[in-house]
Structure 1
Amino acid sequence: MKLAHLADLHFGRENRDALSAAAGIIRELDVDAIVVSGDLTQRGKREEFQAAQEWLSKFSAPVLSIPGNHDTPLLNLPARAADAFGRYERYFGGLTRPLQLDGVSIRGLNTSRGWQARMNWAEGSVNLDDLDAAIGPPDACEGEVRIVACHHPFQSPEKASLQTATRRGAEASARLAASPVQILLTGHVHTPHAELIREPQGRYIAITAGTLSTRLRAQPPAFNIISIQDGIAVLNVQSFEGGRFHEATHGSWDIERVEPIRTPRVVEMSKK
């Protein structure tokens, strides 16, 4: 099982060379699904949504996409307040459905808001009822890999140049750790990152994708390839430098125990 995990495409400020090269890698790897963790557009304009829709339509793999804070009408405040994601739904509403693959369940969660009662509307907010729905029933098939995808990290990645504060993020993190979900896929900070989040209630793997736009924050354009095989999840980050992508392994985990594994097991798996 191979998943392409993208975020922050920002059509309107997209990096066309990186997008073209990324499309080639995704097709070459014949991924089983594509997950987009928000910010498909820069200002939520129709032409930006159309460009994002056209790019994603090139792939035969199923796509799950959730909105980011940039996918609202940036300059239309009444629309942001009354129908923040109406335009997004018209273009991508069909891609917000859960994906049920062979032994892998992926569900989306909208952490973005059109407006908030705080200064920075770009920050995320978790509706805990929506999170429970994304987590799903606890009695899922035994051995199933369960993934939740959203735009904002519940806990801000320490190494990201952009630090973020997601409302109810601490409670969401604890609730996710106590659930059967093993992996959280996010974006927003434009920095590839992976870490094991340990809470008193349990643990989960937090994976953040970079950006494929020109809106860089100390890191080159990047996206993730996540491989799941024989109970092992491996994160390979594709970073765009010198006109092409370079691959590097950023982590590997035993899915059942939700624990990191040693590098030799990754090497052994890659030789199969």
Structure 2
Amino acid sequence: MSRLLHLSDLHFGRSEPALEAPLLAAISRIRPDLVVVSGDFTQRARVAQFRQARAFLERVEAPLLCVPGNHDTPLDNVLLRFLRPFGRYRRWIDRDLEPTYRDAALSVVGVNTVNPFAWQQGRFRRRALERVCTAFEDAGDRLRVAVLHHPLEHGPEVEKRPMRGAARALRGLSDCGADVVLSGHLHRAGTAPFRAAPGLLFVQAGTGLSTRRRGETNTFNMLDLSGERLRVTEWAAEWDRAGGVAFAPGRSNSFCRDRGAWIRSGPGAGLFDAGAGGAAPVSRGASPGVFPAR
């Protein structure tokens, strides 16, 4: 079995310090083969915030693959955002904006979807799609995972504009054999196959540490891969009456591959949307991969 931990939207500068030690303890307990962080390490891309993020990452007891989020480029320093948008990220997080990872079971490719000229929206560039597909060409039987900050689809309740190039990227990733897309940005967790591309599983992470929870608790995802089966478990922060907090496993959704599509395994098998809590079937009128508001 291979185990991948998906974390996103830490937002140092507007984070909950009491969650840091419990989150690190949970990662140590899980012992993943890889920890993926899909962007937004900081709130305003300030040096002090990047220092905090770096200190946290150095305490993670697992290999790391990181991609930037829009909050990791300066918002209030326009000159710096246009001239050296990723300078601080490269110094404190990773010089490589689109890293890759490969072992016997996983082929993971990071994609930088940040667009410094449209700070929030994001963009999936054509050359990034070509690079991902090239990386997957010789992946063999490995699970092919793409990691990006901005999701490829938004639900109708999301006010943010969708990423430029998302529809083209979804088609391209499906055509070149990608299996899973990990993303963040919305601070909402959910897992579902894309309806337009049922061979692609959309795994959306909530926020790991931010106080901007948007009605949800702080969470991360754990992906367990065994052959053609994949289980996605959401770990959530749970507070006790004394003010203590720990991350614990919560809802879990299992999938298997059947004729190129991800199918929910177990009772009520079929394509479904887990964004509303539990394994509710997706209505035929729903948009692909959309998570309803909770």
Q: Same fold (TM over 0.5)?
A: yes
Matched, 1:146 2:110: no
**Number of the residue aligned with 1:258:** 261
SS in 1 for 2:203: strand
User: 1 CA distance for matches of 2:123 and 2:199?
Assistant: 21
Normalising by structure 2, report the TM-score.
0.82
Decide whether the 8 Å contact of 1:157 with 1:193 is kept in 2.
no
Instruction: Trace 1:1-272 onto structure 2 (pairs within 5 A).
Output: 1-94=2-95, 96-116=98-118, 121-137=119-135, 139-157=137-155, 163-199=160-196, 203-211=199-207, 212-242=209-239, 243-255=245-257, 257-263=260-266
Q: CA deviation at 1:136?
A: 2.4
User: 1 CA distance for matches of 2:136 and 2:57?
Assistant: 32
Q: CA deviation at 1:214?
A: 0.4
Normalising by structure 1, report the TM-score.
0.88
Q: CA deviation at 1:52?
A: 0.6
What is the identity percentage for the equivalent residue pairs of Structure 1 and Structure 2?
29
User: 1 CA distance for matches of 2:161 and 2:230?
Assistant: 26
Which shifted more, 250-259 or 172-181? 250-259
User: 1 CA distance for matches of 2:229 and 2:214?
Assistant: 30
Decide whether the 8 Å contact of 1:107 with 1:135 is kept in 2.
no
Structure 1 unaligned residues grouped into runs of 5+: 267-272
Counterpart amino acid of 2:206? Answer: G
Of Structure 1 and Structure 2, which has the larger fraction of its residues in helix?
1
Q: CA deviation at 1:39?
A: 0.2
Q: CA deviation at 1:230?
A: 2.5
Q: CA deviation at 1:74?
A: 2.1
SS in 2 for 1:114: coil
Decide whether the 8 Å contact of 1:162 with 1:217 is kept in 2.
no
Decide whether the 8 Å contact of 1:135 with 1:148 is kept in 2.
no
User: 2 CA distance for matches of 1:255 and 1:104?
Assistant: 16
Q: CA deviation at 1:162?
A: 5.4
Counterpart amino acid of 1:230? Answer: G
User: 1 CA distance for matches of 2:252 and 2:105?
Assistant: 23
**Offset from partner CA, 1:126-160 (integer Å, 9 cap, x none):** 102112202325532431111010100011146x6
**Number of the residue aligned with 2:280:** none
Q: Give the aligned CA root-mean-square deviation in angstroms.
A: 2.1
User: 2 CA distance for matches of 1:194 and 1:163?
Assistant: 20
Runs of 4+ residues deviating >6 angstroms: none
Counterpart amino acid of 1:190? Answer: H
